[in-house]
Homo-oligomer: A and B are copies of this chain.
């Protein structure tokens, strides 16, 4: 992972500076809300993917940074709206925006960011880019609605789960890769390969996230263990756990899941069972099947430093521990 880490370390300051610059373009009233959600930050994986794809395909102009940041702004917009929807008090251990700024400002700051992402992309004078980001927003919001529709449901197939996480996570990661390839003027086949890489990396990213929900390290980042069980999301570890049960035990689990009536002690017990049965590892193995497809999609790229770094994003997703 040495190359990827070097790349991340080298690019994060410029990415963060661009995000700050775009924030300053917004109305002063919105800036504190946006600065708050951007600060919660993370590794800026999405902008990095745009940079890596654009450069792997020969785009060397530094005007790429705002484009690379557009999906991060879009991602931040969804975090703001999710905070309200989930009514969460904390996001990664810091207070959720709506607890500091109120629902109204948080909804509207999210809208401003969604629009700003589109506005940035429109500056590049290429409607392929505009269509790409607009479609990613439609797919993301639609996926989030689907997630809510299937809350506390235990009878939907794994395909539905995959559709939900595509919407929730993968379309945005896919768009990051596509934007980079498109900005580089790549042909249809290259853009399709970027699309395939991003989609599979994104699906795997969310599956690993769902495995991590039952890891004790979740606590360290301010997330309670078993959040998905508490919220009634039938993620792979929970689906697998349910399938280990039979008879009255299974019926009791399904009833409690559908009613959302688990006690904290019961959640701890289920989380421990998931770890003891190795279902978190089996969930990661499911993620691996998508990561293999992501790896194959990289074959379309020329040999270069960025291709090595992109390969390492696969390892990064595979090995995430928090």
Binding site for B on A (CB under 8 A): 26-27, 29-30, 77-78, 81, 84-85, 103-105, 107-112, 114-116, 118-119, 121-127, 130-131, 133-135, 137-138, 140-142, 144-146, 148-149
Q: A123-B131, A124-B127 are in contact. Are A103 and B118 (CB under 8 A)?
A: no
**Given pairs A26-B138, A118-B134, A130-B130, 12 additional interface contacts (CB within 8 A):** A29-B149, A30-B141, A78-B111, A85-B108, A104-B145, A111-B114, A112-B138, A115-B141, A118-B137, A119-B134, A119-B137, A121-B130
* Total identical chains: 2
Q: Establish whether residues A27 and B145, one from each chain, have CB atoms under 8 Å apart when the complex forms.
A: yes
Q: Establish whether residues A137 and B122, one from each chain, have CB atoms under 8 Å apart when the complex forms.
A: no
Q: A135-B119, A146-B27 are in contact. Are A84 and B107 (CB under 8 A)?
A: yes
A-B residue pairs in contact (CB < 8 Å), sample of 26? A26-B138, A26-B142, A77-B111, A85-B104, A105-B148, A107-B107, A108-B145, A111-B137, A111-B140, A112-B145, A115-B137, A115-B138, A118-B134, A118-B137, A119-B131, A119-B135, A121-B130, A121-B134, A122-B127, A122-B130, A122-B131, A123-B127, A123-B131, A124-B127, A125-B127, A130-B130
Most B Cβ at <10 Å: residue of A27, A112, A137, A145: A145
Residues of the B chain whose Cβ atoms lie less than 8 Å from the Cβ of A135: 115, 119
Q: Establish whether residues A114 and B137, one from each chain, have CB atoms under 8 Å apart when the complex forms.
A: yes
**CB contact between A115 and one of B103, B114, B125 (< 8 Å): that residue:** B114
Q: Establish whether residues A30 and B118, one from each chain, have CB atoms under 8 Å apart when the complex forms.
A: no
Closest to A135 in B: B119
A114 to B81, CA, bound (A): 14
**CB contact between A122 and one of B112, B134, B148 (< 8 Å): that residue:** B134
Q: Establish whether residues A118 and B146, one from each chain, have CB atoms under 8 Å apart when the complex forms.
A: no
Residues of the B chain whose Cβ atoms lie less than 8 Å from the Cβ of A121: 130, 134
Q: Establish whether residues A119 and B145, one from each chain, have CB atoms under 8 Å apart when the complex forms.
A: no
Closest to A151 in B: B104
Q: Establish whether residues A145 and B29, one from each chain, have CB atoms under 8 Å apart when the complex forms.
A: yes
A108 to B121, CA, bound (A): 22
A127 to B38, CA, bound (A): 27
The smallest C-beta distance from A28 to any residue of chain B, in angstroms, reads: 9
**CB contact between A130 and one of B84, B103, B110, B118 (< 8 Å): that residue:** B118
Residues of the B chain whose Cβ atoms lie less than 8 Å from the Cβ of A27: 142, 145-146
A78 to B114, CA, bound (A): 13
The smallest C-beta distance from A287 to any residue of chain B, in angstroms, reads: 25
Residues of the B chain whose Cβ atoms lie less than 8 Å from the Cβ of A26: 138, 142
A118 to B123, CA, bound (A): 14
Q: A122-B131, A127-B130, A135-B119 are in contact. Are A29 and B141 (CB under 8 A)?
A: no
